[in-house]
Amino acid sequence: MKIAIISDTHDNLATLDKFLAFIRENPVKYVIHCGDIAEGETLKQLADNFDGKILTAFGNMDYRDSVERVVKKLPDKITLFEDFGHAELGGLKIGFCHHKETALAILQNQKFDFIFYGHTHKPWLETINDCQLANPGTLAGMFYKATFAILDTGTKKLDLKIVERLR
């Protein structure tokens, strides 16, 4: 199973549309968003154009009321977590949040195969206590190129995708 991991969308609908075009062509079952969607309309755009399930956590730049209104209308499609979300997908224990500090604190008490975070906009991958701690970068393309990650749960392989290189 393939999972797309995105973060820091910041209402950039142009790159969101490029991302959506990619996942329509590739068999993605879940999208994990690590926060900073910004407005609820951006989350609605994602939900309206993706057939799978969306798991998301709040970031520091999210308009919470706006995001929560969209989630309330689509409870079977979107699961919203406050600061830290988690799920078992494809036999892997996966966590996600917005801040790396939150991920590191969780890792002190719990075991995960992968924890994803955002906030810095910089793609990053490191291994801590047998857990792959990864930042998929920023889908908005702010400060760094627009990026996202694809996780294949069967191979446990994580691929970083640069939006401008997508075909």
pLDDT in tens, 111-147: 999 999 999 999 999 999 999 999 999 999 999 999 9
Whole-number Å distance between alpha carbons of 130 and 121: 24
C-alpha 132: how far from chain center: 15
Task: Reply yes or no on whether the pLDDT at 104 is more than 80.
Answer: yes
Place of tokens 């409870």: 75
Predicted TM-score of the model (pTM) = 0.97
Which of 76, 117, 68 lies closest to 96, judged by CA? 117
Could you give the angle at the alpha carbon of 109 between the alpha carbons of 104 and 112, nearest 5°? 70
Convert the pLDDT of each residue in 27-48 to its tens digit: 999 999 999 999 999 999 999 9
How many residues in the chain? Answer: 167
| CATH topology assigned to domain 7-31+38-149 | Purple Acid Phosphatase; chain A, domain 2 (3.60.21)
What kind and span of H or E run contains 13? Answer: helix 13-25
What kind and span of H or E run contains 20? Answer: helix 13-25
Place of tokens 């820091």: 8
**Mean confidence (pLDDT) of the chain:** 97
Phi-psi category of residue 35: left, alpha or beta, with phi > 0 → left and psi -120 to 50 → alpha: left
Percent of the chain with pLDDT over 70: 100
